[in-house]
Chain A
Amino acid sequence: MARIAILSYIKRESFVHELTGRAKLVFFLAWSVASMVTYDTRVLVCMLLFSFVIFKVSRIRVKDISFVLGLAAVFLLMNNLFVYLFSPEYGVGLYQSRTVLFTIAGPYTVTLQQLFYHLNMTMKVVCVVPVALLFIACTDPSEFASSLASIGVSYRIGYSVSLALRYIPDIQREYHNISQAQQARGIDLSGKDKLFTRMKNSVAILLPLVLSSLNRIETVSNAMELRGFGRNRKRTWYNLRKMQKNDWIVTALAIAILAVDLIVTFWDGSRYYNPFLSGPF
């Protein structure tokens, strides 16, 4: 069967892989908060460089995750486009100065400030994406549930995540099989038919898929209850690894990054670093 895996665990040997899920989760959360909060260009540049270093260390190659990267790029582009369309002068208000480069049409003037704002916005996303992807690609799915539980999330929620990971490939396989059998009855799902027909046709696959998934859910929940899931408020984990020296270092580093980020960002009372303050260029 053709692999449809788009984003999944990629088993390699690297420093990042060896860290416990918990350390990686803490780092990922701290990193995300840090980059969400700040618009400080200096901080962002540092984080951006650092995220490239982490990426290198993880031994995950760009081509492993090229599809998701492409998707992220498209979203980023659209985001930028819409921000500009709806408020082309946002940067001007933000940085309290206006340096016109050229005019496109009507109110759409390209200013240096607006470009600078877009640069920051883009860098924020570019900082987070590699780290987020690495968290998924380098964390053994077995460790997801236990690491969520270890930072205080209810194990039931953690386990739902884990179960989804367990059954998604099965359901994909089933979808594939059902759709092949339906195609053999003349139900065409390729681009040849009209959109409406295609939508109607996809119901022919979804109905059996939903019914069989409901069946599956019944089996799984029975199997889980029969083995005592949900009996206690806590549970232990077969796959939870003990925190090693490196895990503590990474956890500490994550907190330090967040702290430095907050201090530098809010030092001058604003989330924005403003290079235009010293006067117009």
Chain B
Amino acid sequence: MSNLLELEVKKIVETPPEEVERVKNWINSEEYKEKNFARQALVINPAHACQPLGAQLAAHGFEGTLPFVHGSQGCASYYRSTLNRHFREPAPAVSDAMSEDSAVFGGQNNLHEGLENAVALYKPKMIAVFTSCMPEVIGDDLTAFIKNARQKGHIPKDLPVPYANTPSFNGTHIHGYDSMLLSILQNLTEGKQIEGRCTGKLNLIPGCDFNTGDYREYRRILKAFGVPYTILADIGDTFDSPCDGSYQMYAGGTKLEDAADSINGKATIAIGPYATPKSFGWVKDNYSGRHVSLSMPIGIEKTDALIMKIAELFGKEVPASLKNERGRAVDAMTDSHQYMHGKKFALYGDPDYLTGYVSFLLELGARPHHILCSRGSKKLEKELQALLDGSMYGKDCTIYMNKDLWHLRSLVMTDPVDGIIGDTHGKFAARDAKVPLFRFGFPVFDRVNKHRYPIIGYQGVVNMVTEICNKFIDIKDETCEDRFFEMMR
């Protein structure tokens, strides 16, 4: 019962300091980079999570909705704590705690018991069921299980229970988001399409966006236009609820009746073509009105595209307040372009954030230098390359698809940049490269209140420019020689 590896028993030997020094330098070298990029199987520091996390986010975007993990209980704890850490907010969700016997008998009993208990304790208006690995591997049939649950009375007859298969061994959190959103929309809109009815509203699908400030910004823009809207799905209040002495388990989310009626909308804009292709495809085939897919509105041009599209779809002039806002954002850029012009950046993150970052940087004369997506596609690569090709500041930039943050480390150590844009997980690479990490994506575990500051729209431009430029100025103040330390910057 011991030494099953049949290891030779040896005295402990400390690694000699010169060997440590050698390896420490080696991992920063071109030679190491080549070896690192030759990896076929090992993934180190990936910049993506698994599908069910995104599914949970989508579920939180609807009123009174309890996310329900069909799978092992540990999965639910991981998703919840990840959302807790990013938003510093509650993230209530349950699991049906499948265990070894479920591997043999399937998870139906767990699901039924779990649904019944969840309804009794947490009184949801909707339960959004999604799967983690175990039921996917053993082949649980959710359609039959949920039908049976209703027949046997484990759930009330009229309680919507959309469900999505979100295996973790396929895609990333954004794909889980898409599948859950699609299932919720299909469920809620079933039989709700009314010939000739038009709500007059815009359906806005914001995509798998973890920034509550962005949701508020979309609402503000639409209010400025006077365009009535339904956001599918709106986590803006769910993960930014007031501290007032009460706990609202379901603090926000789109009203279920509004979501149901969204099928009769005047128009639908899906933000982020990479986040919700399945949902948008289905909406195009089934929803009334016009349907448009737009990039995430990060930077002036991409925001302009959104603003003009809203104006066009609803036959409205762009309101003066937004025109002024655009002017102020451009003012912020012209006033501070000198602190970013020519600066080189490494970028990583989800596809829709990446197209936005690149567009934004090029507008400022900054240089995207390494772009890395740990789950990207040819389509994304082509879109990013087209953006780069459209600007002289996009030259010399390389795109790396399906690479991880250990690859990124090799890149920034051998071909340095001035800054990195990404999430908290890049902080080790940034520290080793001695450059700032600008945290704009998801997750941000190590800074406070970031999710409250929009990065979309004209206000997002102001926020990003301010954060990036001031950091570069801080660095100059902190590191310059005394004789160059001066009052003005």
Are A and B a genuine interacting pair, yes or no?
no
